[in-house]
Amino acid sequence: MKITIIGTGYVGIVSGACFSEFGHEVVCVDNDVAKITALCQGQIPIYEPGLADLVAKNVSGGRLRFTADLSEAVPRADAVFIAVGTPSTRRGDGYADLSYIYAAAKEMAPCLAGYTVVVDKSTVPIGTARQVSRIIRETNPTADFDVASNPEFLREGAAIGDFMRPDRVVIGVENERAAAILREIYSPLYLIETPIVVTGIETAELIKYAANAFLAVKISFINEMANICEAVGADAVALAKAIGLDGRIGKKFLHPGPGYGGSCFPKDTVALLRTVQEYGVSARPDDFAGPYGEGSPNHRP
Ligand SMILES: NC(=O)c1ccc[n+]([C@@H]2O[C@H](COP(=O)([O-])OP(=O)(O)OC[C@H]3O[C@@H](n4cnc5c(N)ncnc54)[C@H](O)[C@@H]3O)[C@@H](O)[C@H]2O)c1
């Protein structure tokens, strides 16, 4: 398969390196020309164990290259993955800033040639793929394409292993034609019996937020329990171990500590709450304190 990835950040470069390792022909695009120039000279902008070797191997194998020019990268692609950033808006209201996604959609639209699946790999709220579809259709009414959602679950620091041996792959599509291309892209993972969960687009978009929210809940829950342990003289580590041994609960993400942070959980949990609010579903006022708000186990006055 021929794959183009727009956005050569953490997710874009790891996905590009791993897809090319699967045997696909991959072009990673970024509008940060300095980043692309450095990548073309073999400099990797992030440290991720195993990434530099994987990139070097696939570049020299002719399966992976980097460019700032969408017009040469997009027309050839069977699938174009959008992997640009979706930070919280600068307004500070917790909504995901989708301007990078929409800009990428608008820029790629005139370059589409032949049937292409346009795939949101970035973490995006419900309805984003439909907006991407609308933007492409408006910009290039003759484009032959479908949109899809393929959220990414990799962890920084373990990204290559997570991508090459994921717990599951989620594919959100509207029809079998798009599903077939995405199944083919991930086909090497059938060898290790990776579950491929094929859903509708909205479900796939929500799965990513639901997964991050659940992990954040586990972290916050064990911190609440640690507070109770401190008050009553109980051992929080022993408690975490004992409840984690219950197969229904699981031991991961049950380590009392400073609360969750990083590049994704804070923005994604709040963005999910904004979706809840937008759709008017079970919105309790104290849900909206945010991950560091008053009443939250992560709150530091
Ligand atoms: N970093 C993680 O651990 C992780 C894990 C899973 C999912 N995600 C999600 O994946 C998405 C990308 O995250 P990231 O950490 O890779 O972001 P990042 O900031 O590292 O990379 C984004 C890249 O996109 C480029 N870009 C922006 N607009 C562009 C455009 N119009 N054309 C070409 N390039 C453009 C930027 O220059 C940058 O290099 C986000 O939605 C994030 O929530 C991240």
Protein residue whose Cα sits closest to atom 13 of ligand 1: 85
Catalytic residue among 18, 28, 229, 264: 264
Q: How far is the CA of 5 from the centre of ligand 1 (A)?
A: 11
Tell me, yes or no, if 264 is annotated catalytic.
yes
> How many Å apart are CA 84 and CA 30, to the nearest integer?
9
> Is the beta carbon of 67 within 6 A of some atom in ligand 1?
no
Q: Which atom of ligand 1 is nearest to the CA of 7?
A: 24
For the chain, the domains span 2-199, 207-289
Q: Please, what's the b/e burial string for 76-104 (b: 16 or more CB within 10 A of its CB; e: otherwise)?
A: ebbbbbbbbbbebbeeeebbbbbebbbeb
Q: Does residue 269 line the site of ligand 1, with CB under 6 A?
A: no
Statement: 2-199 belongs to CATH 3.40.50.720: yes
Query: How much is the pTM?
Result: 0.93
One digit per residue, pLDDT tens: the chain, 301 residues?
A: 999 999 999 999 999 999 999 999 999 999 999 999 999 999 999 999 999 999 999 999 999 999 999 999 999 999 999 999 999 998 888 899 999 999 999 999 999 999 999 999 999 999 999 999 999 999 999 999 999 999 999 999 999 999 999 999 999 999 999 999 999 999 999 999 999 999 999 999 999 999 999 999 999 999 999 999 999 999 999 999 999 999 999 999 999 999 999 889 999 999 999 999 889 887 564 554 555 555 555 544 4
pLDDT number for residue 284: 61
Q: Mutate which of 18, 70, 84 to test ligand 1's pocket (most atoms within 8 Å of Cβ)?
A: 84
- Report the C-alpha gap between 22 and 58 in whole angstroms: 10
pLDDT at 91: 87
Q: Does domain 207-289 have CATH number 3.40.1160.10?
A: no
What angle in degrees, to the nearest 10, is found between the helix axes of 201-232 and 236-244? 140
